Amino acid sequence: MRRFIAIADGFSVALAVALAVVLLFRLAICVPRLDPLAVLLGLTLGFFVADVASGLVHWLCDTYFDPRTPLLGTVFIAPFREHHVDPGALARHGFLERNGNNCLVSVPLLLIGISRLEPDAVTQPADVVAAGLFVAASLTLCVTNQIHAWAHGANTPKPIRVLQRAGILITPERHARHHRGDRAYAVVSGWSNALLDRVLARTEVLLAAFGAKPSGSGAQA
């Protein structure tokens, strides 16, 4: 099983890197004739959407589902639960193991981003914003777990520490709140945590009313 997961991680990362290269190449061709404000707005929205997505997935996998479920639980749920038992393991994992799952789920978004950057498809400002959104969201989601590892101080390169101090990427101090059991599930920038904290607390109450009981301890690790 471990060998299968390692091969799948390597394939996912290689595929995502190849698609990211195509995406960036198309972006470079399109950008000179696009409205820079619309591009900036789209990229910022996409970066925010990636933060929200990181928080939602993290909350779901920390709180619900069974990590012992064959394949799905082993591959997607167990790593989130293990992270609360041994947060330092994220830094000890190899690059492919750390980023394989995220690259896999980002593939459809990368493909949408590439299709959005067809030379004739981006003509209206709304098209430009949408294209920028998919570009930033797909690329950011590929490296979400890497950003999370840097929030644990894992061999953080100096440029990343600069981005953390600028508030663009989540800092170890802000992510530590999650490991103290105080929600804060988003791990990209953390910009959405204030909103997600409130929405997810209410969602848990609503789901409990329909019989959905948490299987994990959420952030209470």
Residue with the closest Cβ to Zn ion? 62
The radius of gyration computed from the CA coordinates of the chain, to the nearest angstrom, equals 18
Residue 5: which of 88, 92, 74, 93 has the closest Cα?
74
For residues 69 and 122, what is the distance between their CA atoms, to the nearest angstrom?
43
Residues of the chain by 3-state class (helix, strand, coil), percent to 5: 70, 0, 30
- Give how far the C-alpha of residue 112 lies from the chain's centroid of Cα atoms, to the nearest Å: 17
Could you give the C-alpha distances from 221 to 85, 216, 218, in angstroms and in order? 7, 9, 7
CB of 54 to Zn ion, least distance (A): 11
Pick the stretch among 55-63, 91-99, 118-126, 133-141 that binds Zn ion (CB under 5 A). 55-63
> Cα(82)–Cα(79) distance, rounded to whole angstroms?
5
Nearer to Zn ion, 20 or 186 (CB): 186
Which residues of the chain form beta strands (DSSP E)? none
Q: How far is the CB of 84 from Zn ion (least distance, A)?
A: 6
Binding flag, residue 59, Zn ion (CB under 5 A): no
Q: Which stretch binds Zn ion (CB under 5 A): 19-27, 62-70, 98-106, 195-203?
A: 62-70
Question: Of the two residues 124 and 217, which places its CB atom closer to Zn ion in the complex?
Answer: 217
Q: Which of residues 198-217 bind Zn ion (CB under 5 A)?
A: none
**Structure tokens of 214?**
């948490």
Decide whether 116 or 178 has the Cβ nearer to Zn ion. 178
Residue closer to Zn ion by CB (options 51, 62) is 62
Measured distance between the N- and C-terminal CA atoms of the chain, rounded to whole angstroms: 27
# binding residues, Zn ion (CB under 5 A): 1
For residues 84 to 113, the per-residue mask of contacts with Zn ion, x marking binding by CB under 5 A and - elsewhere, is ------------------------------
Does position 62 bind Zn ion by CB under 5 A?
yes
Using the contact rule CB under 5 A, the part of the chain among 57-65, 71-79, 100-108, 166-174 near Zn ion is 57-65
Write the burial class of residue 202 (CB in 10 Å: 0-12 exposed, 13-18 middle, 19+ buried).
exposed
Is residue 193 a contact point for Zn ion (CB under 5 A)? no
User: Looking at the chain, how many residues does it have?
Assistant: 221
Q: Is the dihedral of CA 51, 53, 56, 60 positive or negative?
A: negative
From 49-57, 59-67, 99-107, 196-204, span contacting Zn ion (CB under 5 A): 59-67
Q: Which stretch binds Zn ion (CB under 5 A): 39-47, 54-62, 121-129, 197-205?
A: 54-62
Query: Which amino acid makes up residue 101?
Result: N
Chain residues in the site for Zn ion (CB under 5 A): 62
